[in-house]
Amino acid sequence: MKSILLLLISLGLLALPPCGPAIAQTQRSNVLFIPIDDLNHWVGHLGRHPQARTPHIDRLAAMGVSFNKAYCAAPACNPSRIALMSGMRPSTTGCYDNSQDWRPTVSEETVLNKTFLDAGYNSFGTGKIYHGSYGNTDKWTEFHKTSSGSMTRHPSAPNDGVGGIKFCPLANRDNDMPDYDAVSYGIEVLNRKHDKPFFLAVGLVKPHMPFSVPKKWFDQFPLETIQLPTHRDGDLSDVPAAGVRMAKPEGDHAAMLRSGRWKEAVQAYLATIAFCDAQVGRLLDAFEQSAYRDNTIICLWSDHGWSLGEKEHWRKFALWEEPTRAVFIWKVPGLTPAGVQSPRPVDFMSIYPTLCALTGIKKPDHVEGLDISSLLKDPNATWDVPALTTFHKDNHSFRSEQWRYIRYADGSEELYDHSTDPYEWTNVAADPRHSGIKAEFARHFPSVNTPELPNAKNKTNAKKASRQATKAKRQE
């Protein structure tokens, strides 16, 4: 019997059953895609801040594979999101920062939601998928614009924060928040009867600033109990000038220290994360009760990390661990084990090619990232490619399992050994014993480093000034 089966296979009359990712390909899996804005690694299962409360994000992690070394392509919303959604790194497109319009160099025909449309999927979206003024493309079957009530500061709040770091409790209810409406739309789509596979993107804005959510979320974190993030005074003393310029210690951090409200800002971030987690919970509840729970891939990610005073720095916009590391979770039916963390370093450029591989869609030629299906199947599989983050032209940061290496455009460097220095306090880049490590990272620098796209605000102002000058000349 065995010899007959082998003969039939050799003649092409009998095919072997698919295995691994190919199972998902033959079933045309749906995709539930959950982008979150400005959520760093302050989630329970990653353990970076002991007071983080994220039972629902942790529930998803327990259902699949999470990555404890996952990094953004760029530590800013606009370049991070268009890199992920287009499959092209900032160094390829020239979109490195929030003020740069990506549309001159990225065709809307190349983006992820359009690729799913072209492959025969219905593509549904809501919330924040792309960034701000450059908005979402129209390459959707249906896109739901979120609505919300007006936001009202709670009477207990003295003001709306410290300088540019905005935070305060709100007098509103949860269902006044745009994220609540986005999830309600996602739930409605999950409750529909679908005659085609679907790609459903539900983007959550919180915990993006302002760290402002209904006061009940603040009440879960009494101010007197708040723990500041692990930090060290004078941490910039061994950082090159290019890194100090990114940190801007004389700005947000100096203002926060003068105000004495550092703990309030941490409380507000934790409260806003807890609100975000509750919205993820609503979506997961609906997913688990839906007809699609057994044939839907879930991919949850955040566009970058966030610093709250570590290295005398606030916000994203830098290349260290805090502003680049974020939550990253996959659940793939028939492929991912449950509740396993992968220690392998990956960046979010992996999302586009991996979704293509898992759904049987041909990966477009322009996509630069690596397929991590092998890590979804075996989170401890061999992986020797470092994660790469870029912020502005020629400033690159790499993360391996043990090391972080940063090289700035002026050639200055930072190197941190995470086996002994998990908070990146001691820069050992000048130690000649580590020259081989730096050389190994250098092999992975992008071969193309495209000049930066124009600053859209400056470009708009320049056009306005030109029009005014032309008008004035005609009136002379």
Please state the rounded mean pLDDT for residues 256-270. 98
**Alpha helices in 11-131, H assignment, sequence order:** 21-27, 55-63, 77-86, 90-93, 112-118
Q: Hey, which residues are catalytic here?
A: 77, 131
* pLDDT at residue 22, rounded to an integer: 36
Handedness of CA 19, 21, 25, 30 (dihedral sign): positive
Handedness of CA 386, 301, 108, 117 (dihedral sign): positive
Question: 463 or 165: whose pLDDT is higher?
Answer: 165
Question: Count of CB atoms within 10 A of residue 276's CB?
Answer: 28
Whether residue 11 is predicted with pLDDT greater than 70 in this model: the reply is: no
How confident is residue 137, by pLDDT bands cut at 50, 70 and 90? confident
Share of the chain above pLDDT 90, in %: 88
Handedness of CA 150, 156, 159, 165 (dihedral sign): negative
Q: What is the mean pLDDT of the chain?
A: 91
278-301 per-position pLDDT tens digit: 999 999 999 999 999 999 999 999
Say if residues 241 and 408 touch (Cβ distance below 8 Å): no
Whether residue 352 is predicted with pLDDT greater than 90 in this model: the reply is: yes
How confident is residue 134, by pLDDT bands cut at 50, 70 and 90? low
148-162 in b/e burial notation, b at 16+ Cβ within 10 A?
A: eeebebeeebeeebb
pTM for the predicted model, two decimal places: 0.91
Secondary structure of 377-420 in the HEC alphabet? Answer: HCCCCCCCCCEEEECCCCCEEEECCCEEEEECCCCCEEEEECCC
173-200 in b/e burial notation, b at 16+ Cβ within 10 A?
A: ebebbbbbbbbbbbbebbeeeeeebbbb
Joined tokens for residue 312: 């005398």
368-402 per-position pLDDT tens digit: 999 999 999 999 999 999 999 999 999 999 999 99
Question: 474 or 43: whose pLDDT is higher?
Answer: 43
Element (H, E) at 7: helix 2-10
* pLDDT at residue 147, rounded to an integer: 86
Give the chain's domains with CATH numbers: 27-459 (3.40.720.10)
**Alpha helices in 87-207, H assignment, sequence order:** 90-93, 112-118, 178-190
Distance of CA 201 to the CA centre of its chain: 14
Say if residues 136 and 144 touch (Cβ distance below 8 Å): no
Rg of the chain on CA atoms, in Å: 23
76-109 per-position pLDDT tens digit: 999 999 999 999 999 999 999 999 999 999 999 9
Whether residue 112 is predicted with pLDDT greater than 70 in this model: the reply is: yes
* pLDDT at residue 132, rounded to an integer: 73
Question: Could you tell me if residue 107 is left (phi over 0), alpha (psi between -120 and 50 degrees) or otherwise beta?
Answer: beta
Say if residues 313 and 323 touch (Cβ distance below 8 Å): yes
In sequence order, what are the residues at sequence separation of 6 or more whose Cβ sits closer than 8 angstroms to the Cβ of residue 148? 176, 177, 178, 180, 181
> Whose CA is closest to 40, among 272, 198, 332, 287?
272
Joined tokens for residue 85: 């959604």
Whether residue 469 is predicted with pLDDT greater than 90 in this model: the reply is: no
How confident is residue 457, by pLDDT bands cut at 50, 70 and 90? low
Say if residues 428 and 415 touch (Cβ distance below 8 Å): yes
**Alpha helices in 131-261, H assignment, sequence order:** 178-190, 215-219, 241-247, 254-259
> Residue 361 gets which letter from DSSP?
P
Whether residue 1 is predicted with pLDDT greater than 70 in this model: the reply is: no
